[in-house]
Structure 1
Amino acid sequence: MRSAHRRARAGRRWVHVRNVDLWQRSLGFAALGFLTLVPLLIVVSAADTRGGQGFAQWLADGLGVSPAARAEIERLFALPGQAWRTTTAFGLALLAVFGLSFGTMLQSGYERVWDLPPARWWARWRHVLWLGALVGVLFLSAIAPPWRESPARGFVTVAIGTLFFWWSQRLLLGGRVMWTALLPGAVATMLGLLGLRIFSRLVFSPLIASSAVTYGPFGTVLVIQTWLVGIGVVVFGGALLGRLLHDELLHRAPPVEPGQ
C-alpha cells in the first residue's frame, strides 16, 4: 500500500513537471530576454559615468568566461556608451513595453509552477514595479566591480539575488503563495545560477572564442543566446524544484492563501 502511494506521488510529480513545459518556457525566456534585457542593460549601463562600459563587463562576469572570450564580448559591444545619447523616447517606451511583457511571461511561468489561475488584468501594476526593481538590480550589477576584483561581491550578489527572486515570486504571484513556501525556490534558483556560471566557464568560454573565429560576431551572439536559455531553465526550474521540495519533502500541501 505504501509503495503504491509513493508511485502515485511520483506520478503526480512527473505530471506536474511535464505540465510546466520547462523547455518551451526557457526558449521564450531567452528570446524575450535577448529582445528586452540586452538592450535595456546596454541603455542602463550607458548611464554610468565611467563611460557605459558596464554591460560588457556584466555579461562577461556573469558568464564567467576567460580573458580571450571576455575580449570577444567587449569587441561585440564596443560602443555601449553611445546608447544613452542616441536612444529616443520612443525607443525607451518600446523597451518598457517589452520589459512588461517579460514580467508577464515570468508571472505566467510561476503561476503554472504553483497551479494558480492567471491574475486579473488590473494586477499589471506589479509588472511595472518588478521592472523598476529589475532595472535597479541590473544597474548595480553592471557598475559593480567584477567578482575577480572583489571576492566579497560574490556573497553580496548571492544574497541580493536570493532576495530578489524570493520577492519576485511573491510579487508576481500576487501574494497568493506564502513567503516560506517561496524561499526554497529562490535559493534553488541562485544555486542553479552559480552552477550555470561554472558550466559557462568550462563550456561557453571556449565556445565564444572558437565561434568568434568561425562565425564572427554572430557566433558570440549564438553562445549568449544559448546562455540565456540556460538562465531560463534555471529560473523556472528553480521555482519548480522549490515547489516540489516544499510539497514533497516537507509533506505539506500547496500553501495557497484564499481570497487573494
Structure 2
Amino acid sequence: MSERGAGRPTTHRGWAAELYRRGKQLELMHRAVGFATLALITLAPLLIVVAALDPLHHAGFALWLVDGMDLSGQSARVLTEVFNPPPRVAASTSAWGLVLLVVFGVSFASSVQNAYERIWRLPSGPWHRIWRQVVWLIALMVYLYVQVLTRTLLAGTHRMLLSVGVGVLFFWWGPYFFLGRQVRWRLLFPGAVATMVGLVGLRVFSDLVFTPLIVTNAVSYGAIGTILVVESWLIGVGFVVYGGALVGHLFCDRMGHLLQHKEADAP
C-alpha cells in the first residue's frame, strides 16, 4: 500500500501505459494460462462430481460451460457430449476420491488468492489460512450453480441483471475474504465491477468466435478440439478475473484512495 497516486498523469494514454506495466509485472498472461490449466485439470473434475451429485439435476458441468460461453444449438450439443459425465460417476466416486478432488480444487483457489495478494502488494497469508481457500471454493461452486439456476427461472433483461448483480457481489466478496480483510470493501468494488464488465464482454466475444469454432474443431479434431476451445475460453476468463482486479487497484491508486487508506490504517 505504499504507492502514491498524486502527480501521475491522468490521461487515457497514461492509464493504459500504467495498466500495461502493472500487468507485465504481474505476468498477467502467464497467470491467465495457469488459471485455465488449473481450472481444467483440478477444478473441472470436482465440478463434474458435484454436478453428478446434484439431486435436483439443475446444473451439470456441461451446462455451466454452455451458459458461461453463451453457446446454443449445435455448439452447445457438441460441448455437452464431451463434458457430460456418465450416470454412474457419482456412484463410482469414493469418499477418498472426493477428498482428493477437493485438495486439487484448493490448489486452484490458492493460485487465485496469490494473484490477489500480488495485485494489492500484500504478503502471502500463512499456510493455516487454507480454510479461506476451501470456503471460497465452496462459494465458487454455489455461485456457478446459482448462475445456471437463473437460466431456467428467468430470461432476458431480468436474468442478465440478476446474473451481473450476483457476479459483482461474488467478485467483491472474494478478494475481501482472500485478503483477510486487509483491504476495505469500498476499495474492492471498482475491481468487482471491472471484472463483470470484462466477463460480459467475453460472453459477447464467445458468442461471435467460440460458438462456430467449437463446431469446426469438433468436426476436424474431435473431442480434443472442443477441449482446446474451452481451454482458450478459460484463459480469457483468467485474464478478465485478474485484469479486472488490476484495473480496480489502478483506479483506486489514481484517485488517491490507496493513500487515504494507508493513512487511516497507520498507528
1:81 aligns with 2:84: no
Is contact 1:127-1:172 (8 Å) kept?
yes
Q: State how 1:1-260 maps to structure 2 within 5 Å.
A: 6=9, 14-51=20-57, 54-146=60-152, 150-151=155-156, 152-248=158-254, 250-253=255-258, 255=261, 258=265
Query: What is the TM-score normalised by the length of structure 2?
Result: 0.86
The 3 A distance-change label for structure 1 pair 142 and 42 is farther
Is contact 1:113-1:243 (8 Å) kept?
yes
The 3 A distance-change label for structure 1 pair 14 and 53 is closer
Matches of 1:37 and 1:119, distance apart in 2: 22
Is contact 1:41-1:138 (8 Å) kept?
no
Matches of 1:204 and 1:26, distance apart in 2: 18
Higher mean C-alpha displacement, 21-30 vs 91-100: 91-100
**Structure 1 residue 154: Cα displacement:** 2.1
The letter for the 2-side match of 1:25 is R
**Structure 1 residue 15: Cα displacement:** 3.8
The letter for the 1-side match of 2:89 is A
Matches of 2:64 and 2:150, distance apart in 1: 8
The CA deviation string for residues 63-120 of structure 1, in whole angstroms up to 9 with x for no partner, is 0123110010111134453322221112211111111111110011011111111112
Matches of 2:146 and 2:249, distance apart in 1: 30
Matches of 1:81 and 1:150, distance apart in 2: 29
Is contact 1:53-1:80 (8 Å) kept?
no
The CA deviation string for residues 15-65 of structure 1, in whole angstroms up to 9 with x for no partner, is 433211100100110010112222122112212335576222221111012
Is contact 1:56-1:73 (8 Å) kept?
yes
The 3 A distance-change label for structure 1 pair 173 and 211 is same
Matches of 1:88 and 1:124, distance apart in 2: 23
The 3 A distance-change label for structure 1 pair 168 and 6 is same
Identity %: 42
Structure 1: which 5+ runs fail to align?
A: none
**Structure 1 residue 159: Cα displacement:** 1.0
Higher mean C-alpha displacement, 165-174 vs 9-18: 9-18
The letter for the 1-side match of 2:54 is D
The 3 A distance-change label for structure 1 pair 71 and 121 is same
Equivalent residue of 1:126, what SS? helix
Equivalent residue of 1:231, what SS? helix
The 3 A distance-change label for structure 1 pair 241 and 166 is same
Equivalent residue of 1:253, what SS? helix
Provide the aligned C-alpha RMSD in A. 2.3
The CA deviation string for residues 141-177 of structure 1, in whole angstroms up to 9 with x for no partner, is 3444358x62322221111111111110001111111
Equivalent residue of 1:6, what SS? coil
The 3 A distance-change label for structure 1 pair 216 and 160 is same
Q: How many residues matched? A: 253
Matches of 1:99 and 1:245, distance apart in 2: 31
Is contact 1:29-1:105 (8 Å) kept?
yes
The 3 A distance-change label for structure 1 pair 18 and 83 is same
By relative contact order (CA 8 Å, sep 6+), the higher-ranking structure is 2
Is contact 1:53-1:81 (8 Å) kept?
no
